[in-house]
Chain A
Amino acid sequence: MSGRVLVGVKRVIDYAVKIRVKPDHSGVVTDGVKHSMNPFCEIAVEEAVKLKEKKLIKEVVAVSCGPQQVQETIRTALAMGADRGIHVEVSGKDYDNMGPLQVSKIMAALAKKEEAQLVILGKQAIDDDCNQTGQMTAALLDWPQGTFASEVTLEGDKVKVVREIDGGLETIKINTPAVVTADLRLNTPRYATLPNIMKAKKKKIANVKPADLGVDMASRVEVLRVDEPPQRQAGMKVETVEDLVGKLKEAGRI
């Protein structure tokens, strides 16, 4: 086995920032807004680095797709312990329309090219909440998938994954190579400290274009309009059950 793990990291608007819809309703304002690494991607990077520290794998490669700015996100992954980075250059209209389908095609192509043993992704991104990229990547590669992982253990050429599901916890054993997506309780990501950020400047980030990987970035989805959620209407207090029934009848609810 190559002992190489591919980790996908996404640059998203920071979770504490108040989102604003663009005046033309084509999307949200991103210019100058604070961005950071998707929290689930941080967990994915941490898991990969932990595996390397336990000497179960040899190399961690951080991948991000997007314009020039995603290099900061890759540098953060390098500062957390990834060995090298791959920046897949996507900008302009292609970037605005980029979704899980395009990213999973890119990840699949890179996983084959890098002969990855494991692909670890965050379970979903906090900006689109799609929760699709990991699953699509596995399908394109025809690899097994261990999603919503709260525990990952390498056992020879198999991986034991404890998954967080609606009913509780499910433990599965899958063959490698495989795709794993990280859930919240998998680990607590370490800080990217300053000495590591400085060291990360010396680590390599390769630049690739989607065309080099044979990936077609055309989107099958067209965003027609983006709107804020409707304003919450004020409620009404009633004194008695009769009042409540009366008001519900008035509103045509019963």
Chain B
Amino acid sequence: TNESALCRMQTCIRALKTVPADHAAPQLYTVVHRRTCSSVTTPRITTHYTIHPRDKDPRWEGVEMERFADEADVVIVGGGPAGLSAAIRLKQLANEQEKELRVCLVEKASQIGAHTLSGACLEPSALIELFPDWKERGAPLHTPVTEDVFSILTEKYRIPVPMLPGLPMNNHGNYIVRLGNFVRWLGEQAEELGVELYPGYAAAEVLFHEDGSVKGIATNDVGIAKDGSPKDVFERGMELHAKVTMFGEGCHGHLAKQLYKQFNLRENCEPQTYAIGLKEVWTIDEKKWRPGRVEHSVGWPLNRNTYGGSFLYHLNEGEPLVALGFVVGLDYTNPYLSPFREFQRWKHHPFVAPTLEGGNRIAYGARALNEGGIQSIPKLTFPGGMLIGCSPGFMNVPKIKGTHTAMKSGMLAAESAFAKITDENLNSETTGLHVPEYAENLKKSWIWKELHAVRNIRPSFHNYFGLYGGMVYTGIFYWVLRGKEPWTLKHCGLDSAQLKPAKDCTPIEYPKPDGKISFDLLSSVALSGTNHEGDQPAHLTLKDDSVPVARNLAIYDGPEQRFCPAGVYEYVPLETGEGMRLQINAQNCVHCKTCDIKDPSQNINWVVPEGSGGPAYNGM
């Protein structure tokens, strides 16, 4: 096909050349010429059916495409804190009121908790509401916070910042948890209550009724080969229909991305802005272990205009374990920045390295997180469905906590949906139920109050003084006035639009990993336990295969090879010698979603791979 394209291009050019110069469209010639140059040498990268539809593909002729369908009352996409809290709340209400309610939850990870990654300091407010007897039930909250330390780091030194009560980062009353274990426990509670949990099955497609309302979801097809053709073991996914479908895919969900367009949910809010969080878990020398200690830092190695910082939590679960990590705002401007390498070099700081010396790294992972706060919350409901958790995004950014608000949003969604589903006198306009009460109730809840109070802290970093301006703003307006100022600051637009061209920026000299405290990317990825069935189309799909080399590499020096925390994207020389091509190592993907967010050309579209693929986090 490349050859026939080349022939057609050459015919076009020859045709143009014969046209008298003043009639020729020079711009068209240049565009065609340029496209010829790039399309000739662009090997086919994307084979996924979302880019190359199967109904036009001759290899799919005669393949049975009917799907098995089943009905539930509520289908929940995503087995994280929000999805599970919603499922649990639904079943609690159903059991209380002695009503039958079929709740099905699908989760792309092979087991509940395997794709969960967070710091994390859990504020137990939502948990107490959901399970007042959480302690008796054995919820894994083993480490109350005992020490709270905040620092501004310079290259060699540390400036302590007092953790005054009332500051958003103050952690009194909170617990350090391994969120993956907490989510696993929530899954066990959900199963006991009668929720049907289906880990290992990804929701790949949203289904619609004829009236445009959401009908449910379809799980992923299996058995498609890497080149997009059907294998012998090909089987269609299954359709799960529901009266209400709750989408709790976490930060930057791929189905949510489609729903925003379909129902125009983002017309009255700011674009979401994100950060990437990288995390490791270490066993350390017992002498250095201080269970309950929480450390946060800002400053080095990031410059004052790049938002981000670190966390280091000492867990108290038997062995001397610390969870540590680094967050970098994805509105950074320098395409040479590598969040992974910033993380690795931060660990060498004199305040951090001693804790890790003599220790052993046992886990690694990464995930994007929301930073937009209240300004970026989209419309939450649409006929047949609603958005819960980090998908719309309820994270309290200065507190760096989103779990409690995610859980509460799931619970509110459950309560509103339950009332609607069990309402015998309901006259719904659409077959899929619309539950606007969820959004109304959320706006009246403590989620909204909390997010409103901190709404200006993150945007206050967009000033000449960057980090320091932001801290001053926080000190005055949050600590003193509790966010009561009458104005709401704006973010600066899409993260993907923030990168400056590579020629305007300086490459960053990162130190080589020493193999004891800092490590290389590939050994880190191996620790995430990530894996995918190799013979399937790459799920990192490109809308246009030629854009990475033509634009990302040409203008921005290929930032995806730096911001991906799993080494998925590599620019390698072409076998013919001239030029480069993008190689996508889809098997390494840890499902962090950073590429879909930060690609300056917005050409990468992350879709869900075959269920069970992805990281195998254990108590992250």
Interface residues of A (CB under 8 A from B): 14-18, 20, 23, 31-34, 36, 188-191, 193-195, 197-198
Chain B 603-620, CB-CB to A under 8 Å as 1, else 0, gives 000000000000010110
- Do B618 and A32 touch (CB < 8 A)? yes
B406 → chain A, closest Cβ, in Å? 21
Q: Complex Cα distance A195/B181, Å?
A: 28
Q: A18-B526, A20-B362, A32-B184 are in contact. Are A195 and B238 (CB under 8 A)?
A: yes
Task: Please name all residues of chain A whose beta carbon is closer than 8 Å to the beta carbon of B618 when the two chains form the complex.
Answer: 31-34
- Do A23 and B201 touch (CB < 8 A)? no
Q: Is B270 an interface residue (CB 8 A)?
A: no
Q: Complex Cα distance A207/B461, Å?
A: 61
Q: Is B47 an interface residue (CB 8 A)?
A: no
Q: Among B166-174, B229-237, B376-384, which stretch is in contact with chain A?
A: B229-237
- Do A32 and B619 touch (CB < 8 A)? yes
Q: A23-B319, A191-B233 are in contact. Are A18 and B527 (CB under 8 A)?
A: yes
In the assembled complex, 13 residue pairs joining A and B whose CB atoms fall closer than 8 Å, in A order, are A14-B110, A16-B529, A16-B530, A18-B527, A23-B283, A32-B180, A34-B110, A34-B111, A34-B114, A193-B222, A193-B235, A197-B201, A198-B70
Task: Please name all residues of chain A whose beta carbon is closer than 8 Å to the beta carbon of B219 when the two chains form the complex.
Answer: 194
Q: Complex Cα distance A191/B222, Å?
A: 7
Task: Please name all residues of chain A whose beta carbon is closer than 8 Å to the beta carbon of B68 when the two chains form the complex.
Answer: 195
- The count of residues in chain B whose C-beta lies closer than 8 Å to any C-beta of chain A is 31
Task: Please name all residues of chain A whose beta carbon is closer than 8 Å to the beta carbon of B114 when the two chains form the complex.
Answer: 34
Q: Complex Cα distance A195/B70, Å?
A: 9
Q: A34-B110, A34-B529, A190-B233 are in contact. Are A17 and B616 (CB under 8 A)?
A: yes
Q: Is B309 an interface residue (CB 8 A)?
A: no
Q: Which residue of B lies closest to A46 (CB)?
A: B233
Q: Which residue of B lies closest to A14 (CB)?
A: B616
6 shortest interchain CB distances as A-B pairs: A16-B531, A34-B616, A191-B222, A195-B68, A194-B238, A17-B529
Task: Please name all residues of chain B whose beta carbon is closer than 8 Å to the beta carbon of A191 when the two chains form the complex.
Answer: 222-223, 233, 235
Chain B 47-79, CB-CB to A under 8 Å as 1, else 0, gives 000000000000000000000101000000000
- Residue among B111, B198, B283, B531 making CB contact with A197, cutoff 8 Å: B198
A89 → chain B, closest Cβ, in Å? 20
Q: A17-B616, A32-B113, A34-B114 are in contact. List 13 more A-B contacts (CB 8 A).
A: A14-B529, A15-B531, A16-B529, A16-B530, A23-B319, A32-B181, A32-B184, A32-B619, A34-B618, A188-B233, A189-B233, A194-B237, A195-B68
Task: Please name all residues of chain A whose beta carbon is closer than 8 Å to the beta carbon of B616 when the two chains form the complex.
Answer: 14, 16-17, 33-34
Task: Please name all residues of chain A whose beta carbon is closer than 8 Å to the beta carbon of B362 when the two chains form the complex.
Answer: 20
A189 → chain B, closest Cβ, in Å? 8
Q: Which residue of A lies closest to B533 (CB)?
A: A191
Q: Complex Cα distance A15/B113, Å?
A: 18
- Which residues of chain B (67-96) have a CB below 8 Å from chain A? 68, 70
Interface residues of B (CB under 8 A from A): 68, 70, 106, 110-111, 113-114, 180-181, 184, 198, 201, 219, 222-223, 232-233, 235, 237-238, 283, 319, 362, 526-527, 529-531, 616, 618-619
Q: A16-B616, A36-B110 are in contact. Are A194 and B201 (CB under 8 A)?
A: yes
Task: Please name all residues of chain A whose beta carbon is closer than 8 Å to the beta carbon of B527 when the two chains form the complex.
Answer: 18
- Do B223 and A194 touch (CB < 8 A)? no
- Do B529 and A18 touch (CB < 8 A)? yes
Q: Complex Cα distance A34/B113, Å?
A: 10
A43 → chain B, closest Cβ, in Å? 13
Q: Which residue of B lies closest to A35 (CB)?
A: B111
- Residue among A20, A188, A189, A193 making CB contact with B238, cutoff 8 Å: A193
A197 → chain B, closest Cβ, in Å? 7
A46 → chain B, closest Cβ, in Å? 10
Task: Please name all residues of chain B whose beta carbon is closer than 8 Å to the beta carbon of A194 when the two chains form the complex.
Answer: 106, 198, 201, 219, 237-238
Q: Which residue of B lies closest to A32 (CB)?
A: B618
Q: Complex Cα distance A237/B514, Å?
A: 21
- Residue among A20, A188, A198 making CB contact with B232, cutoff 8 Å: A188
B345 → chain A, closest Cβ, in Å? 23
Q: Complex Cα distance A189/B319, Å?
A: 40
Task: Please name all residues of chain A whose beta carbon is closer than 8 Å to the beta carbon of B198 when the two chains form the complex.
Answer: 194, 197
A47 → chain B, closest Cβ, in Å? 14
Q: Complex Cα distance A194/B221, Å?
A: 10
Q: Complex Cα distance A189/B362, Å?
A: 32
Q: Which residue of B lies closest to A189 (CB)?
A: B233
Q: Complex Cα distance A193/B232, Å?
A: 14
A177 → chain B, closest Cβ, in Å? 30
Task: Please name all residues of chain B whose beta carbon is closer than 8 Å to the beta carbon of A20 when the two chains form the complex.
Answer: 362
Task: Please name all residues of chain B whose beta carbon is closer than 8 Å to the beta carbon of A16 when the two chains form the complex.
Answer: 529-531, 616
Q: Complex Cα distance A20/B235, Å?
A: 36
Task: Please name all residues of chain B whose beta carbon is closer than 8 Å to the beta carbon of A189 when the two chains form the complex.
Answer: 233
Q: Which residue of B lies closest to A198 (CB)?
A: B70
Q: Complex Cα distance A92/B362, Å?
A: 25
A1 → chain B, closest Cβ, in Å? 29
Task: Please name all residues of chain B whose beta carbon is closer than 8 Å to the beta carbon of A31 when the two chains form the complex.
Answer: 618
Q: Complex Cα distance A16/B529, Å?
A: 6
Q: Which residue of A lies closest to B612 (CB)?
A: A36
Q: Complex Cα distance A106/B526, Å?
A: 37
Q: Complex Cα distance A231/B219, Å?
A: 43
Q: Which residue of B lies closest to A23 (CB)?
A: B319
Task: Please name all residues of chain A whose beta carbon is closer than 8 Å to the beta carbon of B235 when the two chains form the complex.
Answer: 190-191, 193
Q: Complex Cα distance A54/B223, Å?
A: 22
Q: Complex Cα distance A17/B529, Å?
A: 4
A201 → chain B, closest Cβ, in Å? 9
Q: Which residue of A lies closest to B68 (CB)?
A: A195
A12 → chain B, closest Cβ, in Å? 13
Task: Please name all residues of chain A whose beta carbon is closer than 8 Å to the beta carbon of B233 when the two chains form the complex.
Answer: 188-191
A27 → chain B, closest Cβ, in Å? 15
B201 → chain A, closest Cβ, in Å? 5
Q: Complex Cα distance A7/B114, Å?
A: 29
Task: Please name all residues of chain B whose beta carbon is closer than 8 Å to the beta carbon of A34 when the two chains form the complex.
Answer: 110-111, 114, 529, 616, 618
Task: Please name all residues of chain B whose beta carbon is closer than 8 Å to the beta carbon of A15 when the two chains form the complex.
Answer: 531
Q: Complex Cα distance A54/B511, Å?
A: 62
Q: Complex Cα distance A32/B181, Å?
A: 8
A185 → chain B, closest Cβ, in Å? 14
A14 → chain B, closest Cβ, in Å? 6
Q: Complex Cα distance A189/B198, Å?
A: 20
Question: In this complex, which of B113, B180, B235 has the most chain A Cβ atoms within 10 angstroms of its Cβ?
Answer: B235
A194 → chain B, closest Cβ, in Å? 4
Q: Complex Cα distance A249/B222, Å?
A: 58
Q: Complex Cα distance A15/B362, Å?
A: 17
Task: Please name all residues of chain A whose beta carbon is closer than 8 Å to the beta carbon of B238 when the two chains form the complex.
Answer: 193-195
Question: In this complex, which of A188, A190, A195 has the most chain B Cβ atoms within 10 angstroms of its Cβ?
Answer: A195
Task: Please name all residues of chain B whose beta carbon is closer than 8 Å to the beta carbon of A193 when the two chains form the complex.
Answer: 222, 235, 237-238
Question: In this complex, which of B113, B237, B529, B530 has the most chain A Cβ atoms within 10 angstroms of its Cβ?
Answer: B529
Task: Please name all residues of chain B whose beta carbon is closer than 8 Å to the beta carbon of A195 when the two chains form the complex.
Answer: 68, 70, 238
Task: Please name all residues of chain A whose beta carbon is closer than 8 Å to the beta carbon of B201 when the two chains form the complex.
Answer: 194, 197
B70 → chain A, closest Cβ, in Å? 7
Q: Complex Cα distance A245/B119, Å?
A: 54
Q: Which residue of B lies closest to A34 (CB)?
A: B616
B177 → chain A, closest Cβ, in Å? 13
A240 → chain B, closest Cβ, in Å? 29
Q: Complex Cα distance A17/B235, Å?
A: 27
Q: Complex Cα distance A198/B71, Å?
A: 12
Q: Which residue of A lies closest to B318 (CB)?
A: A23
Q: Complex Cα distance A190/B618, Å?
A: 27
